[in-house]
A = this chain, B = another copy of it.
Amino acid sequence: MAPNPTRSRTTKAPEDRRKDLLDAGLRVFCDKGIKEATISDITRAADVAKGTFYLYFDSKDHLLAALKERFIQSMMSEAFSLLSAVGQDDWWELTDRTIEAMVDFPLRHPEELKAFYFQIPSSPETQGILSESDTRVWEMATESIQAGIDAGVFSASDPALAAMFIHEAIDGAVRHRIMYGIDIDRDRLVAAAKEMARKILAPERLPLQSATVPRSTG
């Protein structure tokens, strides 16, 4: 047993090196869990020396923060491009597109989800990042719904919570699919989610206050 084998010294553009490390970090965090992942694991996966890591990140926590940052960025940019791309002529059409994005985005990023939703927030500072983005997404959704209500198309006595429910419902379902390996077809998920959203946002028509349950449940 002897210390590591020597690697041939290679130089890369800093952004590429950084990206290598981010990618390696993500992979390792997902595979072993954040706690179990070591810097060695990461540098090995990135095929660089351990010391190189510290040329690009101050610490493991900083790598984690950078990873979250990157994830949030792509999420937000996708959200914005959605909102601007969709022709905003039809409220229900917009709703459908949004639902699809809510399902498809996490399905395209299962690794990040596993890492970020199911792992320790290492430090108080990085703690809030996901929360912050969630909050921003929530606010955007709330505004959209409010606008739909103002337009007389949607109905919800508590738009903010309606937005949160829809968001969490879909996120939760997708998370289940990803984490627990529960097999739910993407299309089925989208269809059901659309129905849910439409019903929640549809003009009220509350059910009769008392639908008596038949005497025998059996």
Q: Which A positions have Cβ atoms within 8 angstroms of B?
A: 1-3, 14-15, 18, 33-35, 55-59, 62, 88-94, 118-122, 128, 131, 134-135, 147, 150-153, 156-158, 161-162, 164-173, 175-176, 179-180, 182, 184, 188-189, 191-193, 195-196, 198-207, 209-214, 217
With known contacts A173-B164, A192-B158, A199-B202, A92–B209 Cβ distance under 8 A: yes
Contact pick for A89, options B120, B199, B207, B212, CB 8 Å: B212
Q: Is B212's CB under 8 angstroms from A165's CB? A: no
Q: Is B172's CB under 8 angstroms from A167's CB? A: yes
Contact pick for A118, options B1, B121, B204, CB 8 Å: B121
Residues of B within 8 A of A162 (CB): 192, 196
Expressed in whole angstroms, the Cα–Cα distance for A90 and B172 within the complex equals 28
Q: Is A210's CB under 8 angstroms from B118's CB? A: no
Residues of B within 8 A of A18 (CB): 2
Residues of B within 8 A of A118 (CB): 120-121
Contact pick for A169, options B120, B166, B210, CB 8 Å: B166
Q: Which 8 A-B pairs have the closest CB atoms?
A: A168-B172, A161-B192, A169-B169, A165-B169, A153-B211, A158-B192, A131-B180, A202-B207
The minimal Cβ–Cβ distance linking A150 to chain B, given in whole angstroms, is: 7
Expressed in whole angstroms, the Cα–Cα distance for A166 and B164 within the complex equals 12
Residues of B within 8 A of A169 (CB): 164-166, 168-169, 172
Q: Is A161's CB under 8 angstroms from B176's CB? A: no
Expressed in whole angstroms, the Cα–Cα distance for A192 and B214 within the complex equals 27
- Given A89-B212, A90-B210, A168-B171, 14 more pairs with CB closer than 8 A: A2-B14, A2-B56, A3-B14, A33-B122, A89-B213, A151-B211, A151-B217, A153-B213, A157-B191, A157-B192, A157-B195, A161-B189, A165-B192, A168-B172
